[in-house]
Structure 1
Amino acid sequence: MRRAQRIVNLSLPGRRAGAAFILAVFAMVILVTLVTAFASLSQADIRLSANFSQHLQSLALCRTGVNLAMAKLAADRDTQGDVQTDSLTDGWAQFGGATGERIEFDTGWIRLEVVDASSRLNLNTAPRAALLLLPDLTDEVADSLLDWRDADSEPRESGAESDYYSALSPGYVAADAPFLSLEECRLVRGVTDELFFGALSGDTVTPGLLDLLTTHSGEQDLTAEGEPRLNANTADMRELRQRLGDVVEPQALSALTDLRARGGLPTLGQLLAVDGWRPEMVAAAVDNLTLGDQPLREGTVNLNTASDEVLATLPGMTDELRQALVDQRQNEPLANVGEVIALDESGVSFFRQSADLVATKSAYFLVEVAAGVEEDGAPQLCVSALLRRTSDAVELVYWRETDSRVLRKGWKWTV
């Protein structure tokens, strides 16, 4: 009995040592786990810091790109001379996007393109008939776009209002207000990615709404020489004779002022219906006339820069006139909309229907910039900026940063 007691007593220190060893191993495991976790967190912090640093560099590069575009537009305005027009042969149009080349800096690179916003159809003012002439645009999409931008909550025959959108998951409501950005189109019923971004089939490119529409367009209501236009319905006879006496006969000017007693001139295109106003007379005089009292004519399409798809949406545009216009502007841009009358036998009809919808210069320009900091990498940041150019300055209207992965489907350049 005593021997057994001694054996038990002798074994107790060994058991304590074993327990201590287990505790030490457990503590070591915890310590290693904590060190590993802290190391992972440190690496994550380093990656986050690097990503944030690259974002800041890309942001600075995008700002540089927009500033370069603003300088180019200002220089173009100052060097055009006596006649102010905007065309695809101007310096701003040849800058960046025309060549697709990257502009290199010590901190990274950018690609950029300057686009005349008035080369596109204005989504906030275009009528249904014009929208339906865009490639692959259906009745459903046209009505839904109109329902989205109008103020009421009554859907058109093929359209949609908040009742439709609120039933989706997740649900939302229609804006019932003008579009603030083209990206807003993607919320509208029937607007698919293919319709919005466009499609490529073999060598055939179908442009999307992204390249055909705009939310801002227009021109300053000035002549090609930079003078304020005269309101055809309010200017007195002395002003009209002083400005138009060399190109318009006195009887025709009197007929124009006499028309005011019957409500005045409804559209500039109706000048062709005023007694004594022959087509060649209208062509020479129209750039001096307006029907508005605002500094900007909103929603106009620039005949010197619009694509075939956009030109085709204008009332009265024929295939023959469109081709004649494209041929003409390759040689010399139109100085004013009156010149379209002599381009083709359908020019008179087109002018009568669309004179108030078109222009030959622009006030709004889109700048698209992609920036990256890695020489062979994808862009870290893409920016779309809208600029407004006046006689005195080039101003930033809005700036939107966009993840390059989102825009890549619609982006024009490959890395």
Structure 2
Amino acid sequence: MIVLWVLVLLIALATEFAFSMKMEVNTTRNYKEDTESYYLAKAGLNLALAELLKTARFHSIHEEYGWITGNPIPVPDATTNPGDATEEEPQEFDIVNRTNIELEHGTITYTIRDENGKISINSATKVTLNKLLAYSGVEEKLDQDTISDSILDWIDTNKNHRLNGAEDDYYRTQSPPYYAKNGKIETLNELLKVRGITEEILYGSPEEDGEYKG
């Protein structure tokens, strides 16, 4: 009987030891992966900084790709010599939109976009917001006014809603209910909480390939 209890105790100890070792292995692996991810992120940041600091004859904003930098490469047609290309002819540029750059312990992807060309949602006027909504496909004036007033109500610090806006009395009727922030918008996704804003308005429809999703 004593031998049986000793075996049970040994089995329990062995099981606990095996579980403990498994947890230590998982912890070590997670730490290793976190460390690698951290330094991959730093590598991407440093590469992006190098893109901005490198010597280039051209810096501009591309309508589709955002910030681009680099030296223009003349693309002559069949009737001209390569040395005869002019600035008016088609150009290729170094677009700062790097995808799946392979490093020793993983891959990195980064994009550089000019923030100065964007409109601050927290300081935009109703007129500006309505123009942005029209550009996003919101055609009805009442819909534009409803959304723009609701955005302004979401940002301001009082509980009074504008003519077509929304405050707590509206958001408390939603499922699940919530409150108006009455503070600055911190992320794009936060706008989805504002009355009238949809993913299609904010990010575009699935058919709009190449639209900015960040």
TM-score range relative to shorter protein: 0.5 to 0.7
**CA distance 1:177–1:94, shift in 2 (3 Å):** farther
Superposed structure 1 runs of 4+ greater than 6 Å apart: none
Aligned equivalent of 1:124, options 117, 122, 138: 122
The residue number in structure 1 matching 2:106 is 108
Contact 2:69 2:96 in 1 (8 A): no
Contact 2:149 2:166 in 1 (8 A): yes
The residue number in structure 1 matching 2:50 is 71
The residue number in structure 1 matching 2:61 is 87
The superposition leaves residues 64-100 of structure 1 with CA deviations (integer Å, 9 ceiling, x where unpaired) of 2122222322335xx459xxx6333523983441xx5
**CA distance 1:30–1:130, shift in 2 (3 Å):** farther
Contact 1:147 1:155 in 2 (8 A): yes
User: How do residues 111-190 of structure 1 correspond to structure 2 at under 5 angstroms?
Assistant: 111-126=109-124, 127-137=128-138, 138-139=143-144, 140-165=146-171, 172-190=178-196
The residue number in structure 2 matching 1:50 is 29
Q: Output the TM-score relative to the length of structure 2.
A: 0.64
The superposition leaves residues 350-402 of structure 1 with CA deviations (integer Å, 9 ceiling, x where unpaired) of xxxxxxxxxxxxxxxxxxxxxxxxxxxxxxxxxxxxxxxxxxxxxxxxxxxxx
User: How do residues 244-255 of structure 1 correspond to structure 2 at under 5 angstroms?
Assistant: none
Secondary structure in 2 matching 1:177: coil
Paired positions, count: 180
Q: Which has the higher contact order (CA 8 A, sep 6+)?
A: 1
**CA distance 1:167–1:49, shift in 2 (3 Å):** farther
Q: Output the TM-score relative to the length of structure 1.
A: 0.36
The superposition leaves residues 275-324 of structure 1 with CA deviations (integer Å, 9 ceiling, x where unpaired) of xxxxxxxxxxxxxxxxxxxxxxxxxxxxxxxxxxxxxxxxxxxxxxxxxx
Which amino acid is 2:123 matched to? T
- What are the ranges of 5 or more consecutive residues in structure 1 without an aligned counterpart? 1-19, 212-409
**CA distance 1:165–1:107, shift in 2 (3 Å):** same
Secondary structure in 2 matching 1:49: helix
Contact 2:153 2:162 in 1 (8 A): yes
Which amino acid is 1:87 matched to? I
Alpha-carbon shift at residue 113 of structure 1 (Å): 0.8
Contact 1:128 1:146 in 2 (8 A): no
Secondary structure in 2 matching 1:109: strand
Tell me which structure has the larger Cα radius of gyration.
1
- What are the ranges of 5 or more consecutive residues in structure 2 without an aligned counterpart? 63-67, 72-92
Instruction: State the identity %.
Output: 28
The superposition leaves residues 30-72 of structure 1 with CA deviations (integer Å, 9 ceiling, x where unpaired) of 5424422432332233223212321221122112212222232
Q: Partners of 1:191 and 1:102 in 2: how far apart?
A: 33
The residue number in structure 2 matching 1:205 is 209
**CA distance 1:206–1:102, shift in 2 (3 Å):** closer
